[in-house]
Amino acid sequence: MKKLGTRITDEHKEKLIALCDLENLHQGEMIEKLIDYYLDNPVKDTDLEVKSEFIDQLELNESETKEVQDAVINSGQELKAIAKDGLMYKAKYLNTIQTSLCEIPKEELRSSTAKGVAAYKIEKCVEAIIEHNNNSPEPKDRVCLSKTLVQKLTGSNPRTVGQWFDEHHGLINDHNAKYQLTHSHNRRGAGFDYFQHLNLEYLKA
C-alpha cells in the first residue's frame, strides 16, 4: 500500500489534528472515516450548482464564502439546514429585541441606552412624521423627513441617523416626493416646537 502523500497544507494538517482530537481517533482512522463518508455521500454536480447559486444570492465576499463552505464541510450538514438554523436564530433574536423595546415606557425612550433603542426611536420618529403629514390637509403644516430633524427629535448621533436613512432611502425619498417636501419646509423659526407639532413630546429631553 502506498504511503500518504506529503503535499498537504499546514492548514489542513491542523484541521485533521483537530478532527482526530474531537473524535478521539488516530490520523489513519480519521482519514478512513472521512473517505467512507465521502463515498457514502457523493456530492452531485446539481448540489454544487444549487449551493453556488444560493451563496451568490447572499452576495458574500471571498472570506465569507470560504467561511460558509468550511462550515458545510466541517459540520457535514446541508447548506440549507445551516442557513435555516442561522435565519431562525437571528429572527428570534430580533423579535426578542423588538418585544423588549416595545415594553420600554415612552417617557424613558429618550434616555434609554438599551440595545437597538436608537434605531427604534428613529423608526418611531419617522413613522410619526409620516402619519402627521398624511393627516395634514394644509401643505404648510407638513414637515420634511430630514436627517437633521430626526437627529434633533431623537437625540441620536448623526452617524446612526445617517445609517438608518441610507437603509431606508426609498421610504424617505418616496414620502418627501409625495408631498414635494424639501428642507425649506422645516424653517419654522427658533421658537417652533416640533415635539408638540408632531406629538412626540415623550422624546423631549
Tell me, yes or no, whether 103 lies in a domain: no
> Can you give the pLDDT at residue 71?
81
Say if residue 126 is in the same domain as residue 74: no
Residue-wise pLDDT tens digits, 118-142? 888 898 899 999 999 999 999 999 9
Max mean pLDDT range (6-20, 151-165, 190-204): 151-165
Residue-wise pLDDT tens digits, 74-90? 877 777 788 888 887 66
**103, HSE (Cβ side, Cα atoms, 13 Å):** 7
pTM of the model: 0.49
Say if residue 115 is in the same domain as residue 88: no
Say if residue 198 is in the same domain as residue 169: yes
Consecutive H or E run containing 144: none
185 or 202: which leads in pLDDT: 185
Say if residue 115 is in the same domain as residue 197: yes
Look at the chain and report how many structural domains it folds into.
2
Domain boundary among 92, 119, 137: 92
Tell me, yes or no, whether 4 lies in a domain: no
Q: What does the mean pLDDT of the chain come to?
A: 80
CA distance linking residue 59 with residue 68, whole number of Å: 12
State the residue range of the domain holding 157.
109-203
Say if residue 81 is in the same domain as residue 114: no
Long-range contacts from 144-152, C-beta under 8 angstroms, 24+ separation: 144/176, 144/181, 144/182, 144/183, 144/184, 144/185, 144/186, 145/172, 145/175, 145/176, 145/181, 146/183, 146/186, 148/183, 148/186, 149/186, 149/194, 150/122, 150/125, 150/126, 152/194
Confidence of residue 32 (pLDDT cuts 50, 70, 90): confident
Tell me, yes or no, whether 62 lies in a domain: yes
Confidence of residue 112 (pLDDT cuts 50, 70, 90): low
Does residue 117 register a pLDDT over 70? yes
Say if residue 41 is in the same domain as residue 85: yes
Nearest to 150 by CA among 205, 203, 107, 97: 203
Tell me, yes or no, whether 157 lies in a domain: yes
Residues 15-22 have a mean pLDDT of 84
> Can you give the pLDDT at residue 66?
83
> Can you give the pLDDT at residue 205?
61
Say if residue 115 is in the same domain as residue 87: no
Residues 10-22 have a mean pLDDT of 83
Does residue 165 register a pLDDT over 50? yes
Residues 93-117 have a mean pLDDT of 59
Say if residue 182 is in the same domain as residue 155: yes
180 or 116: which leads in pLDDT: 180
